Structure 1
């Protein structure tokens, strides 16, 4: 949302977020290998992750509050998509994601990924949590 809508830096790039999260992956996470996901999951600092999630939520709310009604119908600026790619926020292997975003309006981005995206993964998270509880 920061790069594509507000044309500002990512929350991940502020206040030592990668160090607080204890991560080396600085991209969207799409197309990660199982080994990379295992590394990320094993090493991520949960308190840092919660702080990051809160900061992203606050920033997303600020961006939405700053929008003017007509802006929601605007297409995503191609230069902003390029900036996301150039920064490496989305890996080359996951280029389909920036292609997807390129076809969206600002309002479309507000719906997916900004708000609905969490729900896409909720069922899987519940299944993983259930499996982990059964192992104890």
Structure 2
């Protein structure tokens, strides 16, 4: 693990230890925003230096974006879609009880897709179909829009919010809006999120979930480059 990722993980552990402490609230929110900025493109937060997502986009070719190297893999396109949908869903429905970013404009049309769920229950064929359809640049723009909205929500939080549990009516909204499907491979997310408070959402879907999938996407990028070199 490189030093940059080791530092991010160390800071994430610190965030976990202080996020629910009222006397550390301001420090925790600032740290959360820093951690969040590093798992999005630098354009999203205007942070200086290269973020983990910047590293992924750097030199990323269309082939690598859309290709599933083996049947045991995903695609980079799917990973970025999945990450962004989950952040959009959890922050805007569960935390803020507001409209999802994806529903606030013509994002589906711009990204050239019709599905709007997290993609958890997709077969390999469906993942490849989504990956082939997705407009790479517009998916990146959607990620930027979701990230900026998340930061607005985080900056509005009060100390009393972080221990707030997820409301059943908001969990049901996720299903009603088709953001999570009733299939077994997806439905577990509702139960998982239902056991969390706001702090838990900030720690996992909004920050750590990103680093896990971005690391995997970097691995996929390397695999796809090896495939291209063999051609």
Question: TM-score category by the smaller chain?
Answer: over 0.9
Deviation at 1:135, TM superposition (A): 2.1
SS of residue paired to 2:219: helix
Q: Does 1:75 align with 2:165?
A: yes
1:14-42 Cα deviation digits (max 9, x unpaired): 22000111112111111211111001111
What's the Cα RMSD here? 0.9
Structure 2 unmatched runs, 5+: 1-90
Deviation at 1:12, TM superposition (A): 0.8
Larger radius of gyration: 2
Tell me the equivalent position of 2:100: 10
Deviation at 1:86, TM superposition (A): 1.1
Counterpart selection for 1:110 from 202, 206, 222 = 202
Q: Does 1:40 align with 2:136?
A: no
1:46-92 Cα deviation digits (max 9, x unpaired): 11011100001000000000111110001011110011111111000
Question: Counterparts of 2:129 and 2:171 in 1: how far apart (Å)?
Answer: 28
Please give the TM-score of this superposition, normalised by the length of structure 2.
0.57
Deviation at 1:7, TM superposition (A): 0.4
SS of residue paired to 2:110: helix
Question: Counterparts of 1:120 and 1:103 in 2: how far apart (Å)?
Answer: 21
Counterpart selection for 1:121 from 213, 220, 224 = 213
Q: How many residues in Structure 1 have an aligned counterpart in Structure 2? A: 136
